[in-house]
Structure 1
Amino acid sequence: MTTATTNGTTTTTTAIKNPKKTNLLDHNSIKHLLDETVTEIVTSRGYKEDVRMSNVRLLIGAIIIVIALFAQFYNKKFPENRNFLIGCIVLYVLFNGILQLIVYTKEKNAFLFTYPPAGSAYNSTGLMVSSKLPRFSDMYTLTIASADPKSISAKPTVEFTKSVTKWFAKDGVLVEGLFWKDVESLINDYANEKKRK
């Protein structure tokens, strides 16, 4: 809300939040918007985003780029730089393999990792939030799991699968109230789950 006074007249305006809109014919755009909104919801519940994994991926990606640049701009011509190029190719393949291993084993479909919520017990874990929206399907699956599944305080994974048509108007505007309600309900389900024996 903004209040302005001009020539003795007070005007009050209320800032209207821009609606979130997407192209309903673009599968990636829909998933991206829903994932971004889930991130907002989870962080609003006191979970702070853990960016360590993405930082590691960025670092490995930067190393790969540097290796490629060295191979491209090395100051000797081909026959003389043969061994150097072979070394660069081996390093390039090695670091790409490490990057793919991290994505395959750690991240899977996850788009958000968090620390435990502020004020929680010291042995609680953060969240790993992942989603799926198969191509040519309207069924969006949201999964919340423990960021450290081997921890003694890890809780069972919870998920829901719903049609995206329940959350979008015909013009592509996200009906945030409905989506927030569903996601918060899933977060509550996770928080209330008991550790399996």
Structure 2
Amino acid sequence: MSSRNVLYKWSIDDKPVKVDKWDGTALKNSLDDSAKKVLVDKMGFIESHHLMDGRLIICTIAVAFAMFALVWDYLKPFPLSRPILIICVLAYFILMAILTVYTSYREKGIFLVALDKDAAGVDPDNVWTVSSYLKKYDDIYHLIIDYKDGKKRGLRTANFKHSVAKFFDDNGVLSYEIYENELKLLINSLMSEKKDK
């Protein structure tokens, strides 16, 4: 079933998710996981791991510098290994700074990049990017969905912000129906814009 022809309807039939309602990180993660499940499992989009791959490449290079310093220091003990150790330590901290910039300005709270593949395989993939944030000691959950048409028609964005109390009951159980309805409004609005153009 192609996303070009249909405005999706879905339901989640899994057992309820229960979290500590005072733990902001757990609340945000459960909402993020639910959004990911809807887009990937229910709508059939394919998850892209390019953002995570970038982070893994930076971390792998940093660990390689640390391991090289360890081996070099073992083969040529400290006084001889001093210049190499200095280079490796500096390289490690520079890479950690690059990683911080990457996660802050490139990932920016993105927890899912999903590809909507063209059924015929002719057109480029449509890209759905989903990000969220929940500030510390705040109850307002922000969800942002960016949609980029593979045919280069530009980027469209839809978002909502609601108190987490709207999605969780007093026991910390996530109400899928309410959360799904909010996601439907965002996704269907982006698909309607796409259909109109």
Measured against the shorter chain, the TM-score band is 0.7 to 0.9
Look up the match of 2:67: 69
In 2, the alpha carbon distance for the partners of 1:158 and 1:78 equals: 57
Structure 2 segments unaligned to the other structure (5+ residues)? 1-12
RCO greater where, 1 or 2, for CA within 8 Å and sep 6 or more?
Answer: 2
Look up the match of 1:98: 98
Q: 1:119 to 1:188 in 2, by over 3 A?
A: same
Q: 1:52 to 1:85 in 2, by over 3 A?
A: same
Look up the match of 2:114: 114
TM-score (norm 2): 0.80
Structure 1 segments unaligned to the other structure (5+ residues)? 1-15
TM-score (norm 1): 0.80
- 2:160 counterpart SS class: strand
- 1:135 counterpart SS class: coil
Identity %: 30
Shift of 1:67: 1.8
Look up the match of 1:25: 22
Look up the match of 1:4: none
Structure 1 range deviating more: 26-35 or 107-116: 107-116
The residue correspondences of 1:52-63 to structure 2 (distance < 5 A) are: 52-63=50-61
Q: Deviations over 1:85-142 (max 9, x none)?
A: 1220232133223323322332111111111244287145301100011111111110
Structure 1 range deviating more: 134-143 or 103-112: 103-112
How many residues get paired?
Answer: 179
Q: Deviations over 1:6-56 (max 9, x none)?
A: xxxxxxxxxx84211111111101001110111001112232110122122
Question: Counting helix residues as a fraction of each chain, which structure ranks higher?
Answer: 2
In 2, the alpha carbon distance for the partners of 1:106 and 1:100 equals: 10
The residue correspondences of 1:28-177 to structure 2 (distance < 5 A) are: 28-43=25-40, 44-73=42-71, 74-75=73-74, 76-119=76-119, 122-123=123-124, 125-146=126-147, 152-177=152-177
Q: 1:58 to 1:166 in 2, by over 3 A?
A: same
Structure 1 range deviating more: 121-130 or 81-90: 121-130
